[in-house]
């Protein structure tokens, strides 16, 4: 067993091991909090959650830092339009992001840190770059001279040897393959928020915050740095140029990038107007677990084509998993344990682990689970599955759910409508008549899970919400 990841830096799948004992020091680029996150963003954050959980399942401890970008061009524009300070404006969307994370069951990184809490450390880093000859000034702003950093392009594997020296950009996003000197410190413009610092009044460019916060909390060389593929260039390339120019050491050992979520062939993006937020999907009646399942189900290095059919299929898959668990917990099996089933369980766990070890192949991990469920359901129907096989099966589900986390229902108790309850009770009565007591018990347990208590009386079944 070895855990392997595709490393964007080397363009190879490599065996993973942290630098220091069993603690993984990981940095992931967090949201820019000028609006609600769309499910494309959340795909990337879900991948990072799966990564966290699998590292832990493999015995590692985590020290994971995620930044919140709470000062940049769009934030400044939109907060001014809303007549709010950048703090008041970004607080709204930071809160919304934390809520979305909780709804999607994304674990909180050990540290979530804000750019605006690190302005002076960023200034100090820029001063160091200045001392080492990587910067120049123009109109009060400070730029990074990429021609002075020989490794520029090593992450995105672009050849920038023909770059136009001195061409530069102030904006945080620019065209692929058109490398330019990027801004480290932006001189304050009229009416814009800014900080008084030895570099002059102004604010940091976007890239410097990640170099500074990553190294402050995790040290000069990180184990893992992750984000969406759109961050490879220029953002992560620039983070490397900044950090390595300061320390002379490799900035991150493994670079993991998740592919985009797309809609009809196009990247889901606010600028394209083709996006859904998590809230949009919940309003349409989809459960958060279905969204989580869908986002996790496609291996992170493959594009994920978002469709409502896909979302419905995710909900159906979760139902199958839950019904299976309910059957394990409520059905009556013959005594003893079937050795063949025990072997089947061990094989399923092995296949599941192997799939996730191999660069987090979530699709194969899910396939391992569903094949196991199909086989053992058949064994239950034929009586080969015994009571002694239940603990192994439940253990596998636990292992599954420690990563996918979809078995528990978010729906609050009593969320079934009266007519849904009546329909299920009708089905239970019919099952009992047909002497299918397993199904009848299953329905009773299902209703209990929704906080519905049944009472069999001589006049029929009465029920109430607990
Ligand atoms: P932002 O809030 O724009 O800084 O983006 C937050 C994260 O979402 C970054 O890691 C991006 O790479 C990622 N991201 C943006 N759009 C998509 C998309 N359509 N699919 C997957 N990830 C995305
Ligand atoms: Zn970043």
Q: What is the pLDDT of residues 379-409, one digit of tens each?
A: 999 999 999 999 999 999 999 999 999 999 8
CA distance 161 to 222: 27
Phi, psi of 178 (to 5 degrees): -105, 80
Mean pLDDT of 61-87: 96
Starting from the CA of residue 48, give the closest ligand. 1
Q: Looking up tokens 């959340």, which residue turns up?
A: 42
Atom of ligand 1 nearest to the CA of 31: 2
For 455, the 3-state DSSP assignment is strand
Atom of ligand 1 nearest to the CA of 261: 20
Parallel/antiparallel/unpaired status of strands 266-267 and 452-457: unpaired
**Pocket flag, ligand 1, residue 28 (CB < 6 Å):** no
Q: Looking up tokens 């603990």, which residue turns up?
A: 391
CA distance 51 to 367: 18
**Pocket flag, ligand 1, residue 109 (CB < 6 Å):** no
Phi, psi of 49 (to 5 degrees): -70, -45
On the question of pLDDT at 265 being above 90, the answer is no
**Pocket flag, ligand 1, residue 238 (CB < 6 Å):** no
Domain with CATH 3.40.50.620 in the chain: 18-258
Q: Sorting pLDDT into bands at 50, 70 and 90, what band is 171?
A: low
Distance in angstroms between the alpha carbons of the first and the last residue of the chain: 47
Q: What is the pLDDT of residue 453?
A: 82
On the question of pLDDT at 361 being above 50, the answer is yes
**Range with the lowest mean pLDDT among 118-132, 265-279, 352-366, 380-394?**
265-279
Tell me what percent of the residues of the chain surpass a pLDDT of 90: 79
Helices 73-81/86-103 angle, 10° precision: 110
CA 455 to chain centre: 43
Q: 127 near 116, Cβ under 8 Å?
A: no
Mean pLDDT of 222-228: 98
On the question of pLDDT at 413 being above 50, the answer is no
Mean pLDDT of 325-353: 97
Mean pLDDT of 329-347: 97
Average per-residue pLDDT for the chain: 93
Q: 241 near 149, Cβ under 8 Å?
A: yes
On the question of pLDDT at 31 being above 70, the answer is yes
**Pocket flag, ligand 1, residue 35 (CB < 6 Å):** no
- Burial class of residue 262 in the structure, from the number of CB atoms within 10 Å of its CB (0-12 exposed, 13-18 middle, 19+ buried): middle
Cis peptide before 234 (omega within 30 of 0): yes
Domain 18-258 has CATH 3.20.20.140: no
Q: What is the pLDDT of residue 423?
A: 86
On the question of pLDDT at 175 being above 70, the answer is no
Our CA angle for 378, 382, 383, nearest 5°, is 115
Our CA angle for 198, 204, 206, nearest 5°, is 160
On the question of pLDDT at 412 being above 70, the answer is no
Check residue 234 and report its DSSP letter.
I
Those residues whose beta carbon sits under 5 angstroms from the ion ligand 2 are 29, 210
User: What string of DSSP letters covers 41-93?
Assistant: HHHHHHHHHHHHHHHHHTT-EEEEEEEEB--SHHHHHHHHHTT--HHHHHHHH
Domain with CATH 1.10.730.10 in the chain: 266-404
Provide the CATH number for the domain formed by 266-404 in this structure.
1.10.730.10
Question: In this predicted model, which residue has the larger pLDDT, 303 or 454?
Answer: 303
Q: Quick check: pTM over 0.85? A: yes
**Pocket flag, ligand 1, residue 31 (CB < 6 Å):** yes
Phi, psi of 257 (to 5 degrees): -130, 130
**Range with the lowest mean pLDDT among 111-115, 283-287, 398-402?**
283-287
The per-residue pLDDT for range 133-169, each reduced to its tens digit, is 999 999 999 999 999 999 999 999 988 776 666 677 7
**Pocket flag, ligand 1, residue 126 (CB < 6 Å):** no
Question: In this predicted model, which residue has the larger pLDDT, 277 or 438?
Answer: 277
Contacts of residue 442, defined as CB under 8 A and 6 or more positions apart, other chains included, come to 323, 326, 327, 330, 331
């Amino acid at each position: 067993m070895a855990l392997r990841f595709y490393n964007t830096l080397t363009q190879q799948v490599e065996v993973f091991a942290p630098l220091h004992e069993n603690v993984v020091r990981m940095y992931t680029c967090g949201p820019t909090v000028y609006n609600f996150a769309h499910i494309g963003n959340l795909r990337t954050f879900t991948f990072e959650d799966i990564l966290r959980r699998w590292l832990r399942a493999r015995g590692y401890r985590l020290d994971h830092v995620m930044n919140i970008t709470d000062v940049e061009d769009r934030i400044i524009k939109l907060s001014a339009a809303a007549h709010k300070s950048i703090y008041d404006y970004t607080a709204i969307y930071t809160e919304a992001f934390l809520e979305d994370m909780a709804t999607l069951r994304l674990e909180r990184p050990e540290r979530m840190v804000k750019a605006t809490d690190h302005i002076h450390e960023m200034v100090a880093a820029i001063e160091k770059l200045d001392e080492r000859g990587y910067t120049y000034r123009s109109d009060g702003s400070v730029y990074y001279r990429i021609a002075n950093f020989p490794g520029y392009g090593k992450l995105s594997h672009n050849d920038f040897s023909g770059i136009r020296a001195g061409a530069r950009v102030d904006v945080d996003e620019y065209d692929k393959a058109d490398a330019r000197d990027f801004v480290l410190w932006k001189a304050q413009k009229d009416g814009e928020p800014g900080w008084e610092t030895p570099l002059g009044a102004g604010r940091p460019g976007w890239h410097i915050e990640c170099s500074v916060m990553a190294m402050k909390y995790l040290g000069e060389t990180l184990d893992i740095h992750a984000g969406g593929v759109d961050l490879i260039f220029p953002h992560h390339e620039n983070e490397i140029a900044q950090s390595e120019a300061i320390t002379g050491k490799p900035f991150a050992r493994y670079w993991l990038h998740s592919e985009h979520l797309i809609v009809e062939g196009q990247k889901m993006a606010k600028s394209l107007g083709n996006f859904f937020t998590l809230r949009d999907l919940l309003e349409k009646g989809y459960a958060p677990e279905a969204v989580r399942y869908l986002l996790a189900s496609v291996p992170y290095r493959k594009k994920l084509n978002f469709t409502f059919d896909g979302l419905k299929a995710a909900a159906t898959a979760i139902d199958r998993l839950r019904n299976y668990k309910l059957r394990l917990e409520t059905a009556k099996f013959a005594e003893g344990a079937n050795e063949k089933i025990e072997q089947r369980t061990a094989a399923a766990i092995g296949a599941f682990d192997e799939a996730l070890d191999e660069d987090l192949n979530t699709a194969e991990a899910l396939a391992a689970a569903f094949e196991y469920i199909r086989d053992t359901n058949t064994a239950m129907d034929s009586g080969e599955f015994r009571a002694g096989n239940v603990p192994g099966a439940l253990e596998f589900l636990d292992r599954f759910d420690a990563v996918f986390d979809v078995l528990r229902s978010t729906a609050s108790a009593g969320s079934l409508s009266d007519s849904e309850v009546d329909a299920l009770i009708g089905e239970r009565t019919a099952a009992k008549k047909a002497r299918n007591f397993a199904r009848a018990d299953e329905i009773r347990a299902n209703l209990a899970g929704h906080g519905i208590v049944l009472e069999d009386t001589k006049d029929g079944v009465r029920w109430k919400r607990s």
